[in-house]
Amino acid sequence: MNSPKWSLALISVALTIALALGIDWIAAEWLGIGSSHARWWLLATTLVLVCGSFAFLLGREWTSRQKVADDLEILGRSDMHRLARTNVNFRDDTQVGDDLERSVARLQEKMRSMSRQTEELEKERAAYERLAKSYETQSRQVHTVLSALAEPVLVTDKRDQLVLSNSSANRLLSIESAAGEKQALASLVRCEELVELLHETRRKRAFTEQAHEIEVEAPDGSPRWYRVTTRNIPTQPGESDPDGTSQGAVALLYDISSQRRLQKRNAEFVTAVSHEMKTPLATISAYTELLADGEADTPDVQQQFLRVIAGQSRLLSELANNLVDLARIEADLAGEHQSNQALSQLVDAAAEAARPMADAKQITFEVRHADRALVTCVDRQLMLQAIAHVVSNAIKYTPPGGHVKVGTFREGNNAVLEVADTGIGLSEEQQDRVFEKFYRVLESKDMAEGSGLGLPLVKHIVEDVHGGQVELDSSPGVGTRVRITLDLPEAASPAASTLPTEDQP
């Protein structure tokens, strides 16, 4: 209670006393009440009435204020949403000033607007939460895809720090995954070329995609070739871009080592073929020139030169044919025409073609079949060629008067062809190398001409096309035994393939 209220109270007390004195005087003068006893009673009654009404008024005032304070207290303590919903109305009978009521109304209005804003913010927050969840899911999906990728992937940010690398990249580049902390790519990856590529791509402002082939040393120290596709992540409107470049770069590495190896092998092969062709060509051109210059002074020498030219021409043509066969086999075009063939027939056909050569060298040439009905499933043309190669090799590298024995028989579930000769034989080192393309044994060069592709072709035909096996057993000066093993077709009945025939020794 402030001082104006106190002075009001004092004035009220003074007025009450004045009123009491007035009543007393009226009672004495006008009503003629002489008894002082009665006058005291009237005075007391009047005073009690006046004070009572005053006290009642004061009490009401105090109660109203207390109610407002209580309501404000509730306002202060309550949460915004309940407040906004609660209608804070003062009771009609509450006598508070208009100013207080207006303040409370304004406060409540403010509360309502804040409440609305809060609700909107909460909705936004929920939307962001959903978005964050979906990004998290997407991120997990991307990580799963990346870690499943066999191709190494690296992502850097605008400071060339590594922000993402999949497990293939970590393995290849020996990246220690430092959890949480971003590190400069250059400090994590030893391959400078790759670091430089990512840096260069990131420096570009506009979208850039580049492809390069780089050599990377694998953790085991072996050199590997990768085609690296790098892309930058261009800055979007609203993203900070202090140095006017892009937000980072991505590198995808694709292992091309096997392609490289294949290319290298092809190049080596072509070089070898070219060299092998040049040798007979050189011989042909040299002898042609000698003939043209009249260097062959007798008809005998002329004939000798012409024989050399004819032999080298045959060799060139053989080389060309072998190359075509090799190409067909390597392109998987061969072996499509496999059918059941009697091994004895194939061997007889090859032997027939080789017999004149054996006869010319007075070589004893024997062919024996333990079982004429032994059937194999083969590409007739190719297998005939392989057998012919082995048989003619045996005759070629056996000195005159020697022996060449050819035999076929069944061994378990296999059909076996063996060609044994009493030829010059091969050392262990030579045995290891005779199946290499263009390998020719020095000592054999003078004995016979060869393309250097015969035995590699035999191996290809038997092993790659027919799933069989070629084995070679030889000792220098004693002879060579070549053994070709082929699976018997499943349908071939054991009884039918083991029937003895009149050819059996």
Partner 1 sequence: MTKKVLLCDDEIHILKAAELKVSRAGYDVRIARDGEQAWQMILDDLPDILVTDVQMPRCDGFELSQRIRQDERTRDLPILMLTAKGFELEQQELMERWGIIDIVAKPFSPRELVRRIDAVISAEAGHCVAGAPGADRIHQ
Cβ 290 to partner 1 shortest distance, Å: 6
23 or 447: CB nearest partner 1? 447
Contacts of 201 (CB under 8 A, 6+ apart): 208, 210, 230, 231, 232, 249, 251
CA distance 119 to 129: 15
Cβ 401 to partner 1 shortest distance, Å: 23
Q: Which stretch binds partner 1 (CB under 8 A): 333-341, 377-385, 395-403, 438-446?
A: 438-446
Closest C-alpha among 281, 280, 312, 276 to residue 452: 276
11 or 282: CB nearest partner 1? 282
Q: Which stretch binds partner 1 (CB under 8 A): 130-138, 212-220, 286-294, 327-335?
A: 286-294
The contact pattern for partner 1, residues 136-175, with x = CB under 8 A and - = no contact, is: ----------------------------------------
Q: Does 284 bind partner 1 (CB under 8 A)?
A: yes
Q: Does 282 bind partner 1 (CB under 8 A)?
A: yes
Task: Calculate the CA 448 to chain-centre distance.
Answer: 53
Residue with tokens 């090859």: 350
Answer yes or no: are the C-beta atoms of 440 and 454 closer than 8 Å. no
Closest C-alpha among 357, 353, 365 to residue 422: 365
Cβ 402 to partner 1 shortest distance, Å: 22
CA distance 153 to 155: 7
With CB under 8 A as the contact rule, the residue among 136, 196, 289, 352 that binds partner 1 is 289
Which run of H or E residues covers position 35?
Answer: none
DSSP state of 447: T
279 or 345: CB nearest partner 1? 279
28 or 282: CB nearest partner 1? 282
Cβ 288 to partner 1 shortest distance, Å: 10
Would you mind telling me the total number of residues written for the chain in this entry?
A: 505
Q: Does 283 bind partner 1 (CB under 8 A)?
A: yes
Q: Does 429 bind partner 1 (CB under 8 A)?
A: no
3-state DSSP assignment of residue 479: strand
Binding residues for partner 1, rule CB under 8 A, total: 21
Cβ 320 to partner 1 shortest distance, Å: 17
With CB under 8 A as the contact rule, the residue among 192, 295, 330, 332 that binds partner 1 is 295
Q: Does 5 bind partner 1 (CB under 8 A)?
A: no
Task: Calculate the CA 277 to chain-centre distance.
Answer: 44
104 or 273: CB nearest partner 1? 273
Cβ 267 to partner 1 shortest distance, Å: 11
Q: Does 317 bind partner 1 (CB under 8 A)?
A: no
Residue 365: Cβ within 10 Å count: 22
Cβ 223 to partner 1 shortest distance, Å: 23
With CB under 8 A as the contact rule, the residue among 66, 139, 271, 475 that binds partner 1 is 271
Residue with tokens 């009642």: 56
Q: Which residues of 404-423 are buried (b: 16+ CB within 10 A; e: fewer)?
A: bbbbbbbeeebbbbbbbbbb
Give just the sign of the alpha carbon dihedral 98, 104, 110, 113: negative
Closest C-alpha among 358, 414, 347, 419 to residue 380: 347
Cβ 278 to partner 1 shortest distance, Å: 4
431 or 485: CB nearest partner 1? 431
Closest C-alpha among 367, 304, 378 to residue 335: 378
What would the two tokens of residue 499 be? 């029937």
Q: Does 431 bind partner 1 (CB under 8 A)?
A: no
Cβ 250 to partner 1 shortest distance, Å: 41
Q: Which stretch binds partner 1 (CB under 8 A): 95-103, 235-243, 280-288, 356-364?
A: 280-288
Q: Does 320 bind partner 1 (CB under 8 A)?
A: no
Residue with tokens 């508070």: 96
CA distance 451 to 456: 11
Phi, psi of 294 (to 5 degrees): 70, 25
Strands of 31-182, DSSP E = 153-157, 161-165
Q: Does 312 bind partner 1 (CB under 8 A)?
A: yes
With CB under 8 A as the contact rule, the residue among 88, 149, 218, 286 that binds partner 1 is 286
The contact pattern for partner 1, residues 440-459, with x = CB under 8 A and - = no contact, is: --x--xx-------------
What would the two tokens of residue 223 be? 């050199």
With CB under 8 A as the contact rule, the residue among 113, 138, 147, 274 that binds partner 1 is 274
141 or 274: CB nearest partner 1? 274
Q: Does 427 bind partner 1 (CB under 8 A)?
A: no
69 or 282: CB nearest partner 1? 282
Q: Report the 3 state secondary structure along 184-234.
A: EHHHHCCCHHHHHHHHHHHHCCCCCEEEEEEEEECCCCCEEEEEEEEEECC
Which run of H or E residues covers position 349?
Answer: helix 343-360
157 or 449: CB nearest partner 1? 449
What would the two tokens of residue 29 be? 């003068």
Residues that bind partner 1 (CB under 8 A): 271, 274-275, 278-279, 281-287, 289-290, 293, 295, 308, 312, 442, 445-446
